[in-house]
Chains A and B, each alone.
Chain A
Amino acid sequence: MNNNGEEKRPSPEALLKLAKAEEDKAAKGRLKIFLGYAAGVGKTYTMLAVAQQLRREGADVVAAYVESHGRTETDALLRGLEAIPKATIRYQGVLLPELDLDAVLARRPQIALVDELAHTNAPGMRHEKRWQDVQELLNADIDVYTTVNIQHFESLNDIVAQITGVIVRETVPDLLLDQADEIRLVDISPDELLQRLHEGKVYIPSQAAQAMEKFFQPGNLIALRELSLRHAAMRVDDQMRAYMETRAIPGPWPAAERLLVCVSGSPFSERLMRITRRLANEMKAPWYAVYIESPGDDKFARENRERIWRDLRLAENMGAEVATITASSVADALVDYAVRHNVTKIVVGKPAKSRWREFLRPPLVDQIIRRSGTIDVYVVSISAAGRREGFAPAARKKIPWPGYMSAVVLVGGASLICAALIPFFSPTNMAMIYLLAVVLAGIRLGREPAILAAFLGVLAFDFFFVPPYFTFAVADKEYLLTFFALFTVGAVISTLVAKGRQRVETMQTREVQTASLYYLSRDLAAAADTYTIMQAVHKNIRESLNAAIMFFFPDGEQLTLMDDGAGLAPDIKEQAVAGWAFRNQQPAGRGTSTLSSAAFLYLPLKTSINVLGVLGIRLAKETDYTSPQPRLLLDAFASQTAMALERVQFAHQAEQARILLTRENLERALLNSISHDLRSPLATITGILSSLQDEGGGLNDTARRELLATAGEEAARLNRFVGNLLDMTRLEAGVIKLKEEPCDVQDLIGCALAHLEQRLGERPVSINLPPGLPLVLMDMVLMNQVLINLLDNAVKFSPPGSAIDIIVRIDRKSLFIETGDRGPGVPDHDLTRIFDKFYQVPVPEGAAGTGLGLSICKGIVEAHGGTIRAENRAGGGLRVICRLPLKITPKENGQHE
């Protein structure tokens, strides 16, 4: 019963997820996608029709970018809609109309219509792709209506290519389709579409006419239509599922699946990823794309890195979680990662053909299957069908001409040596000289030149030293074996040598990176403030990447350059790029797809909670921006820096909180003290006054006088306390300005004693003044206060009638004024605390002070640049010593005029 009830309640996770998604949506604009399966189905038309309807209902709709391609029905629908003027970009002599993102952002409409989501922007625009523009609009809380065809979605790209044979290069991340709040399928039958095509109602760019013809085949259209319908249906299914989940409608829930695909940088990786993404989508499962870097594998040659980097970014675009792992065994690392991330299915490609190496080492698939345990392994065929035009290695390898030339020279040299050695060696041994040349080539020049050297070596050997000489003919068949051995040994050795060298290079790069990361983290760990952090990052980035950097930190609403002494002064444009990176929490500038014309690369300093600033980097070499190694390192640097900054911020906040607490405590003490010290004398005075008022007649004269004397004392005490409070407040507020004038120390003492005449009564006061004391610069009023407070304490804390001593000394730099009493003194551990505000030494009876007197003394003496301290006297009692810097008036007069 109870159990049933539990089950029907929506799971907290589901609700949380939904709440989070809705929260995210609330802050962002809504995205509505008009999805079609081919040009001409009427996406733009439908979008405009909807827009017109909304406009009539009073919505604030603008056409941010709509292309009618001269179709009159579309044009008619554009009428009445506010259109944002397009930006025109001149590119290679052609004026290209583009979406003016800033104009739309400035206009801030409720809904913006943006046609052709998959469009690639002209170079020089802020983003490479229009969908990035759309995302920025959404982030700015603007609803966007947009059109796109199904084949533009990243994960369907290859299916579409398979169906139609046309490769679509303008792609949109699937994430956008997932994020869309609404998808409106615009559908007409293929027959009707073809009819419209024939009537010339479908706009086809002239340069694509041929491709389009291939595209608009009934078979293709049917397949594409099915694809788009299926996607729309899946989307509806998603919504249904979400609805059921939140309302706890029981249903067949899919098990929590997680998929993993290994990215290798091979031409098939991309296809594997698309397949995984589709599988993951169907299973509603998250998926991971992992690149395992293993220095022992020649597949990870340097030129592959770019492709791997691109693949990982693509995977990220398709919604995968991406990781790079370094391990010696790919299979082990992959399975290990899968286990740690609760992956249920690993997707691997079926090797297209066996290679000779597989005899030595079992294929990766076999290795994974052997280790995978409970994890399912999906083996996907990556046959020639996957190899398409678009998959040619992104960067054509440069041919190392100098290497080949050197190989030729090496072989030539070997031939000359052999020629010189003819009298001494048999021809067969000449092969050894060539072998030497090949090995040398392998070590110095790399693999390909070495193979060339082996080949040339065989030819030269045959030509010059195998009879018949100077022909390629071979008389003795035995030499064929020599040739074969020479070539094979040469090829194998050079391959091994080259591989070894590569491995060393990889290791070295890794080591340098690990080391620089280590040094940075060490420096950052030691950094206690933002400035030190910046210095540490400066130093490490300069050392490991030879890059110039600058820091931007938010200052209110603005992002401002932090002056770190590097002297870089970015112009307004650069600052704007940094600002973009900060607001959008994404990398921008050089080497990214956003505002790539900037001079710097801008990485947001992101922590799990927020963005703390932006790091601007100018790398030494242009190629470094696109190659993955520096970028990976920079990303690592940026995240380490962000963490360090966050740590410093937290530390700062903690310190602030501590200070606040201390202040609160002090304020509480102050309030306590005030309420006690103000109220108790008031209570006495009020009590005495009321008793005199009510029963004044009933009291005898003596009693009355006593009461009045008490009231008078209490009033004096109150007055002292208020005076102290005021002094303290002014000292702390720093409004006290010293009025230093030449003072006669004897006069000062006399003045203070005169003030305390009544309190001192008949007490013996011994004054010890050195003769010929000069006038000393001080604020007489304040120092008088100090002396009064000290003497008052001496009176208060010592037995009546005991002596009070005042001793004045000078040395070359200081004036010392000591007051001493014969009271109980102060426990040694409290000797410094007695100068703290509101600190009161516990006293046996009624001598309670305010706890302010000594701290006021301290404040005044320190304002004079002096010090004050207390010590217990040898014969009992306390001595307080003020030391003032001995400032003597320059125009010191003689004793007599």
Chain B
Amino acid sequence: MNNETNSANPPRILVVDDEAAIRRFLQTVLSSGDFCVQQAENGHLALAAAAAFRPDLILLDLGLPDMDGVEVIKRLREWSKVPIIVLSVREREDDKVKALDAGADDYLTKPFGIGELLARIRVALRRAVQQAPAPIYKIDDLEVDLVHRRIVAGGREVQLTPTEYDLLRLLVTHAGKVLTHRQILRQIWGAGYVEQPHVLRVNISNLRHKIEKDSSRPRYILTEAGVGYRLKADF
């Protein structure tokens, strides 16, 4: 289905969920999508399977019976960089943020459509094999040239402040991935700014005014309410 997948060696996906119905559904859908699927029904089995099965990606439900999903992420991150996509229900924004801060790559809110899931899986897998970010990011009318620090939106070059540029570069290098407020604040402004989200809001707002066609209905920099921002990726 895409160029990362080859039939000889299909990507291995570990599905961690305590709901048998969800596991069965994912197994069916993903297997038919040319993935090799392994299941785990709780945190401990997930950790064991991650070591034995060596998956290319983990789909992790946060509400596990034996241990906190965030804890599973932390343990995994001690030795592995495997992409982790968290599955969570709508009301738990805090948990999503915690999971992302702990090292998860993305999240999906249950219930989700299979198209959405496959798109996220593709993004995560692509990002995992990418050693360095592509020097040029291009989507629709937006073109960011990281080598020459040139941004063209709607056909004309845009001037950014250094902070705005850093912000955009961070988003571009993580295109398709959700970045939490804390992650962005730490990266751009430093650890002392993680509790000052207004700095980020103002700069995002300014950035949007410069690169979006209609900043009230942004197309590139997407807000994940209560979690963070994501730059639209064209995978």
Contacts and interface: CB of A to CB of B under 8 A. Distances in A.
Interface string A713-736: 001000100010011001000000
A896 B206 contact: yes
B161 A897 contact: yes
A489 interface: no
Interface string B197-228: 11101111110000000011110001101100
A630 B115 CA distance: 89
Nearest to A777: B198
A853 to B, nearest CB: 15
B192 interface: no
Contact of A747 (B93, B111, B163, B205): B205
A769 interface: yes
Contacts of B202: 744, 775, 893-895
A743 interface: yes
B225 A897 contact: no
Contacts of B148: none
A495 B113 CA distance: 110
Contacts of B218: 750, 754
Nearest to A765: B217
A166 interface: no
Contact of A767 (B93, B201, B216): B216
A195 interface: no
A892 interface: yes
Interface string A767-785: 1010000010000110010
Interface in B90-148: 90-91, 93, 111
B216 A769 contact: yes
A751 B206 CA distance: 16
B205 A746 contact: yes
A741 B201 CA distance: 10
A89 interface: no
B6 interface: no
B196 interface: yes
Interface in A379-414: none
B216 A780 contact: no
A775 B216 contact: no
B225 A753 contact: no
B226 to A, nearest CB: 4
B111 A715 contact: yes
A586 B207 CA distance: 83
A750 B215 CA distance: 8
B93 A889 contact: no
A444 to B, nearest CB: 90
A726 B90 CA distance: 10
B198 A889 contact: yes
Contacts of A748: 225
A781 B161 contact: no
Contacts of B226: 739, 780-781, 784
B217 A750 contact: yes
A426 B212 CA distance: 132
Interface size of B as a range: 20 to 34
B201 A747 contact: yes
A183 to B, nearest CB: 75
A323 B203 CA distance: 89
Contacts of A750: 215-218, 223
Nearest to B218: A750
A688 interface: no
Contacts of A897: 161, 163, 203
A893 B216 contact: no
Contact of A744 (B93, B161, B163, B204): B204
A730 B93 CA distance: 15
A747 B217 contact: no
Nearest to A746: B216
Contacts of B197: 741-742
A775 B223 contact: no
A749 to B, nearest CB: 6
A753 B206 CA distance: 19
A891 to B, nearest CB: 6
A893 B223 contact: no
B215 A746 contact: yes
A754 B222 contact: yes
Contacts of B215: 746, 750
B201 A742 contact: yes
A781 B201 contact: no
B205 A744 contact: yes
Contacts of B204: 744, 747
Given A744-B204, A747-B205, A895-B206, A754 B198 contact: no
A769 B215 CA distance: 11
Contacts of A894: 202
B198 A781 contact: no
A300 B74 CA distance: 97
B225 A784 contact: yes
A723 B222 CA distance: 23
Contacts of B196: 891
B161 A896 contact: yes
B91 A726 contact: yes
Nearest to A893: B202
A715 B93 CA distance: 22
Interface string B8-25: 000000000000000000
Given A780-B225, A781-B225, A891-B196, A744 B201 contact: yes
A730 B215 CA distance: 33
Contacts of A742: 197-198, 201
Contact of B198 (A727, A751, A784, A891): A891
B95 to A, nearest CB: 13
Contacts of A723: 90-91
A896 B198 CA distance: 12
Interface in A344-358: none
B206 to A, nearest CB: 6
Given A769-B216, A893-B198, A747 B206 contact: no
In order of increasing CB-CB distance, the 4 nearest A-B pairs are A781-B226, A742-B198, A784-B225, A751-B223
27 contacts: A726-B91, A727-B91, A742-B198, A743-B201, A744-B204, A746-B216, A747-B201, A747-B205, A748-B225, A749-B216, A750-B218, A751-B223, A751-B225, A753-B216, A753-B217, A754-B222, A754-B223, A767-B216, A769-B216, A775-B198, A775-B202, A780-B226, A891-B196, A891-B198, A893-B199, A896-B206, A897-B161
Given A750-B218, A765-B217, A775-B198, 13 more contacts: A723-B90, A726-B91, A741-B198, A742-B197, A743-B201, A747-B223, A748-B225, A753-B216, A754-B217, A767-B217, A780-B226, A781-B93, A889-B198
